[in-house]
Amino acid sequence: MKTVNVSLVGVGGQGIILTADILAKTAAIAGLEVKKSEIHGMAQRGGSVSSQVRFGDSVASPIIQDGTSDILVSFDKLEAVRNAHLLAEGGVAIVNDMYLVPVTVSSGQQQDVADLDSRVAAISGLKLVDAMKIATEEVGNSRTMNMVIAGALSVFTPFAESDWLKAMETMLTGPKAKLLEVNKKAFALGRAAVQK
């Protein structure tokens, strides 16, 4: 199969790296070659974080060029607008319906973003998911927001749901194993959110 490019973007602490790791593991379980790269920025201070995952029969480089992401996954609306240039024509943008006010805005160093919602709405192939609401109200655990997003992402990948679940099981081991069931629930609700 041709190489598929997935860019995951957001803010530190949202579980972007774990989501990217699970995607990469899923592709490996499906027997594909996988390459992954990430940029942490000032992750500990609510700064931008991005991870890129490429999978296919043969993957030459881990880096995704601008305008070539088949899927853009954004954990925050502002990051979706900032990274819309990564999306390929005809690509899918899975965007968490959430806006975290940047520190530079809350501290008065910068103006807030004007017309954010209309700028998000203009992104082609947009699939808006209220992952925090689903995680908080339906799963009962706000920390599963990233697995809601992973579930939404899974619908647009060529992998069986069972491969995703197997990847989650291999990643959530040791002390994290007790979180497996709640994360599986979040994943299933994320899938359902974009299949409606």
Tens digits of per-residue pLDDT, 110-137?
777 889 999 999 999 999 999 999 999 9
Dihedral Cα 39, 43, 48, 50, nearest 10 deg: 30
pLDDT at 45 over 60: no
pLDDT at 42 over 70: no
CATH no. for residue 9? 3.40.920.10
Percent of the chain surpassing pLDDT 70: 94
Q: Supply the pLDDT for residue 44.
A: 54
Q: Supply the pLDDT for residue 146.
A: 96
For every residue of the chain, which 3-state class applies, written as one string?
Answer: CCCEEEEEEEECCCCHHHHHHHHHHHHHHCCCEEEEEEECCCHHHCCEEEEEEEEECCCCCCCCCCCCEEEEEECCHHHHHHCHHHEEEEEEEEEECCCCCCHHHHCCCCCCCCCHHHHHHCCCCEEEECHHHHHHHHHCCHHHHHHHHHHHHHCCCCCCHHHHHHHHHHHCCHHHHHHHHHHHHHHHHHHHHHHC
User: Is the CB of residue 19 less than 8 Å from the CB of residue 10?
Assistant: no
pLDDT, average across residues 60-64: 91
Q: Supply the pLDDT for residue 69.
A: 98
The domain total for the chain is 1
Amino acid in the structure at residue 145: M
pLDDT tens-digit profile of 8-41?
Answer: 999 888 899 999 999 999 999 999 999 999 886 6
pTM attached to this predicted model: 0.93
Q: Supply the pLDDT for residue 188.
A: 98
Q: Supply the pLDDT for residue 118.
A: 95
The Cβ of residue 194 has, within 10 Å, a number of other Cβ atoms equal to: 17
Q: Supply the pLDDT for residue 116.
A: 92
pLDDT tens-digit profile of 131-150?
Answer: 999 999 999 999 999 999 99
pLDDT tens-digit profile of 159-177?
Answer: 999 999 999 999 988 887 8
Structural domain boundaries, residue 110: 4-195
